[in-house]
Structure 1
Amino acid sequence: MIATFHDLAGASVYITGGGSGIGASLTDGFLAQGAKVAFVGRSDASSFCDEMEEKHGQRPHFMQCDITDTAHLKETLAEASARHGTVTRLVNNAANDKRHDPLEVDEAFWDWMIAINLKACFFACQAAIPGMIEAGGGAIVNFSSISYMMGNAGYPIYTAANSGINGMTRSLAREYGPNRIRVNALAPGWVLTQKQKDMWVTEEGLAAHLARQCLKDTLEPDDIIGGTLFLASDISKMMTGQALVIDGGVVVTG
């Protein structure tokens, strides 16, 4: 069951990677609130949009986009605002946690990983903030991960980007707080999306991770909806520059 956030009804929401994994759950969650959702993704999401339209009576606006193409990314934000009204809720969800050996990384791979996991997040914010200023405020949710908090091995560029997202989030919160723009980070734990199941989940690895969680249930994409809606809603109107962790209690912050 998801709480109702009345101020999200009719809000213009933009989500990166909103057609699969956690992002698809977020699109579903915002539509359930009556929000107008636009999202981007690399793969065609027409069937997902059909499903959402049948479920909610409102079709999300899908734009195919590689978020490493900064010019195109900015164009999609402008298109979303033209279609649904000024984007006042931005959710930077898209990421890629491709595993890599530090000793085998070349500059091209470094640049690609940073482009997906950090650069696109910054430029989406840059594109959305002027409209939010004109609208009198807005909310940005930048997805990070607990991977850097855990010091996980196997993907150091990904963890570096996650840590960078936190620093960027805090600075943007300070920069644009006077404009009533709130910027927060959300750090999920190991969410068992289909991609994770197909590529990384093993029985032994999952058991070891669950042993570190305070709560012993696996995290599913829908478990991230409530926290995202909370950060995007005016219910959290005095919360900014923070990192909300949803991980079943692996890292205990504070």
Structure 2
Amino acid sequence: MIIDQTETPVLQQTTAIGGKAIYPSLADKRVIVTGGGSGIGEGLVEAFVAQGARVAFVDVADDASHALLARLTPGAVHEPLYRHCDLTDIAQLKSIFAEIETVLGGVDILINNAGNDDRHGIDEVTPDYWDQRLNVNLRHQFFAAQAVVPAMKRAGGGVILNFGSISWHLALPDLVLYQTCKAAIEGLTRGLARDLGREGIRVNTVVPGNVQTPRQEKWYTPEGEAEIVAAQCTDGRIQPSDVAALVLFLSSDDARMCTGHDYFIDAGWR
């Protein structure tokens, strides 16, 4: 039998250093992370920088973001870039993203991580608060994707990862607007994946469980955290680095046939 090897794609081998996977396909990739200054976003920025990617991140938390730059820049293959950006201001979003694209020379990967899970009761919601919550948690994900799609098309493809939440799958209390947005994000992912797939652009949703960050710790007592772990299938608290491990895989060429779906990193929390 004669095998035509020209039909067989050559995949770069994934290696591991210090117990963590290194994806050769992520080296030099141009990445934008929203909400990258702290929490999960900080872990994502750190992970992409460690892969040798060209990373830009946006946030409104300047002090935390500059501290992250100071920590990551020494020894980085490519110095990370930070820009202050209020994602609820779509004109500002488009302007900052255009600047980043120019500096990086394009955009290969967009991580729509930014969000805000402030608690609220149903009787507290006004029309203005409704609009503000949707702007903070949903609207910017679409317009950030819209902003990078032309560059990805010119490059022949790209990756968009939208961050959802386990909260609406569990029907957690006092989060009705946040959960409305996070449920809609999974629909956004499906629509974008369908419309952009033939352009070589993959779109998925990352659905974290309860990740141990300073922000989340302000919502839960030690007893509440123990209840979460008891409801998980595995022991331990999910860390930003655990979420980053999933994000790196989905962003890499190893996940080239993964699109239009939701990927949970929740320790089996039910």
Tell me, yes or no, whether TM beats 0.5: yes
Per-residue CA deviations over 1:229-254 (Å, capped at 9, x if unaligned) read 01111110011001000001114xxx
8 Å Cα contact 1:40-1:64 kept in structure 2: yes
Residue identity in the other structure for 1:59: E
- Equivalent positions of 1:88-107 (< 5 A) are 88-107=108-127
Structure 1 position 112, deviation (Å): 0.9
8 Å Cα contact 1:144-1:188 kept in structure 2: yes
Deviates more, 1:54-63 or 1:213-222: 54-63
8 Å Cα contact 2:53-2:78 kept in structure 1: no
Per-residue CA deviations over 1:76-130 (Å, capped at 9, x if unaligned) read 2111111112111000001100000011111111111100110010100010111
- Equivalent positions of 1:1-254 (< 5 A) are 1-44=19-62, 45-197=65-217, 199-251=218-270
Structure 1 position 138, deviation (Å): 0.2
8 Å Cα contact 2:29-2:109 kept in structure 1: yes
> 2:51, 2:142 → 1: CA distance?
27
Q: Which runs of 5+ in 2 are unaligned?
A: 1-18
8 Å Cα contact 2:52-2:77 kept in structure 1: no
Deviates more, 1:55-64 or 1:6-15: 55-64
8 Å Cα contact 1:144-1:162 kept in structure 2: yes
Call closer, same or farther: CA 1:191–1:55 in 2, change over 3 Å: farther
Residue identity in the other structure for 1:248: A
Q: Which runs of 5+ in 1 are unaligned?
A: none
> 1:55, 1:24 → 2: CA distance?
17
Per-residue CA deviations over 1:143-169 (Å, capped at 9, x if unaligned) read 001111111111100011010000000
Q: Secondary structure in 1 aligned to 2:244?
A: helix
Structure 1 position 59, deviation (Å): 2.0
* Aligned residue number for residue 11 of structure 2: none
TM-score (norm 1): 0.96
> 1:211, 1:82 → 2: CA distance?
48
